[in-house]
């Protein structure tokens, strides 16, 4: 496969207060639930909240617990860090809606800081998400990323879900383990990664070669496209390699979160990261 090596000049953005330059567009944090500007992150569910409580970088503002949840936390000697408010399950239902599986735990917290592209470690695997909008899918991808020790996930500031609520619940604690890098312009971010020596591999059903046959090296960035649309054209053109995931069955396309697991397994196996 031809190795496309497009390297336009790209200046690494440096942090200035909470805002970053337009070139990289990396944000220091995320907005709260439903796009609120108050930066409140909503966390609920056992794994999500206990992982946040165990993360010293996560500031907990408020913690609501049912009696059963409080008892379980005490039995497992989990430090709540703040004085919890003991409430009936219905109160948490009212805050989240009847379909949310909160298991008696609800927290409001500060967002975690978003590192810049220039802070990515030059080893292992990084995932890049090209405008994936479903919070369930992004959360599931984060959970798989934590399982495969992914160094970071790069996502777009627009056309991507907030790091709160449903996404956090679907990630099942992985939000505390895998850094999220948020950029305004994905192509520029990929160009900077190319310049820093990353092998950027776009995953597309029309890729010229099966990912399992591509010779991978560290650091590698696996780039996943949006549900339905796949990779955008400029994203495809910026990746050094565009590969596909071959499957033996009649259905050749996978849900993006399933594709992420398969790609991570192939990548980690080939790079010797499984043992």
Dmax over CA atoms of the chain, in Å, equals 61
Non-local (6+) Cβ contacts of 140 within 8 A are 170, 171, 257, 260
The reported pLDDT for the residue numbered 12 is 35
Reported as half-sphere exposure (CB side, CA atoms, 13 A), residue 94 has a value of 6
The structure's pTM equals: 0.85
The reported pLDDT for the residue numbered 1 is 42
Give residue 25's Cα distance to chain centre.
17
Using alpha carbons only, what angle is made at residue 158 by residues 25 and 242, rounded to the nearest 5 degrees?
85
Q: What is the DSSP string of 19-38?
A: B--TTT---SS---GGG-TT
Closest to 230 measured CA to CA, from 199, 261, 198, 253: 253
Q: Is the pLDDT of residue 38 over 90?
A: no
The reported pLDDT for the residue numbered 15 is 36
25 vs 251, higher pLDDT: 251
How distant, in Å, are the alpha carbons of 26, 40, 51, 81, 251 from that of 35?
17, 10, 23, 27, 36
> Mean pLDDT in the chain?
88
Lookup: tokens for 172: 């099942």
- φ, ψ (nearest 5 deg) of residue 198: -70, 140
CA gyration radius, the chain: 20
- pLDDT of 73-129, one tens digit each? 999 999 999 999 999 999 999 999 988 999 999 999 999 999 999 999 999 999 999
**Which three-class secondary structure state does DSSP give residue 154?**
strand
Mean pLDDT to the nearest integer, 30-53: 75
Q: Give 4's pLDDT tier (boundaries 50, 70, 90).
A: very low
Helices (H) and strands (E) counted in the chain, each on its own, are: 8, 11
Q: Is the pLDDT of residue 32 over 50?
A: no
């Amino acid at each position: 496969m031809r190795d496309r090596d497009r390297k336009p000049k790209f200046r690494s953005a440096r942090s200035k207060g909470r805002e970053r330059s337009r070139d990289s567009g990396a944000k220091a944090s995320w907005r709260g639930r439903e796009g609120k500007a108050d930066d409140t992150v909503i966390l609920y569910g056992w794994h999500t909240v206990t992982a946040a409580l165990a993360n010293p970088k996560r500031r907990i503002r408020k913690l609501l617990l049912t009696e059963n949840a409080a008892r379980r936390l005490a039995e497992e000697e989990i430090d709540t860090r703040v004085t919890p408010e003991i409430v009936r399950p219905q109160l948490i239902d009212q805050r989240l809606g009847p379909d949310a599986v909160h298991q008696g735990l609800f927290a409001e917290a500060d967002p975690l800081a978003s590192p810049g592209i220039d802070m990515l470690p030059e080893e292992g695997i990084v995932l890049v998400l090209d405008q994936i909008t479903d919070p369930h899918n992004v959360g599931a991808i984060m959970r798989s990323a934590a399982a495969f020790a992914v160094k970071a996930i790069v996502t777009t500031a627009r056309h991507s879900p907030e790091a709160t609520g449903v996404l956090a619940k679907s990630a099942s604690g992985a939000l505390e383990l895998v850094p999220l890098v948020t950029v305004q312009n994905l192509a520029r971010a990929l160009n900077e990664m190319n310049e820093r020596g990353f092998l950027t591999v776009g995953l597309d059903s029309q890729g010229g070669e099966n990912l399992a046959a591509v010779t991978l090296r560290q650091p590698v960035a696996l780039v996943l496209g949006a549900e339905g649309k796949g990779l955008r054209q400029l994203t495809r053109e910026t990746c050094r390699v565009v590969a596909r995931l071959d499957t033996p069955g009649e259905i050749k396309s996978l849900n993006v979160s399933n594709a992420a697991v398969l790609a991570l397994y192939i990548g980690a196996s080939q790079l010797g990261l499984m043992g």
